[in-house]
Amino acid sequence: MTLFEKIIAREIPAEIVFEDDQCLAFRDISPQAPIHILIIPKKTIARIAAAQADDQSLLGHLLLTAAEIARRENIAPAGYRLVINNGPHGGETVPHLHIHLLGGRHLNWPPG
Ligand code: 5GP
């Protein structure tokens, strides 16, 4: 089981901010912005490169959920960033697909 599967199974604690039948969202343990939330599918998909055509609806749901959480966290008016790290050069450290929702401060571009 990956770390995030253990969070889904409640074997590891996390500050969960949203859950439905398809996904879970919880605060990042090492926040890089005042709001830093991870949105993950309950289905085990290692990374976006491993997603299949039949995951299309789930992937859309994850994005719409991220936007809804941003509204609930009151960061939507000022803006925010969604990030998916994929593979070693992308900075992926946990092999379970996750969208980073970052906001609450101005974020620089381009990223490092
Ligand atoms: P990645 O680097 O794979 O894109 O993102 C993994 C994220 O998971 C990192 O931002 C890291 O801080 C977060 N993370 C790692 N371990 C834990 C944990 O045990 N709990 C929570 N809430 N976040 C974690």
Host domain of residue 66? 3-103
Q: What is the mean pLDDT of residues 35-56?
A: 98
pTM above 0.95, yes or no: yes
CATH number for the domain spanning 77: value is: 3.30.428.10
Q: How many domains is the chain partitioned into structurally?
A: 1
- 61, 96, 98, 100: the catalytic one is 98
In a domain? residue 81: yes
The finding on whether 3 has its CB within 6 A of some atom of ligand 1 is yes
Q: What are the tens digits of pLDDT across the range 91-100?
A: 999 999 999 9
In a domain? residue 50: yes
The CA distances from residue 90 to 7, 11, 37, 48, 107, in Å, are 23, 28, 18, 11, 18
Residue of 10, 16, 30, 36 best suited for mutating to test ligand 1, as the one with most atoms within 8 Å of CB: 30
The finding on whether 94 has its CB within 6 A of some atom of ligand 1 is yes
In a domain? residue 18: yes
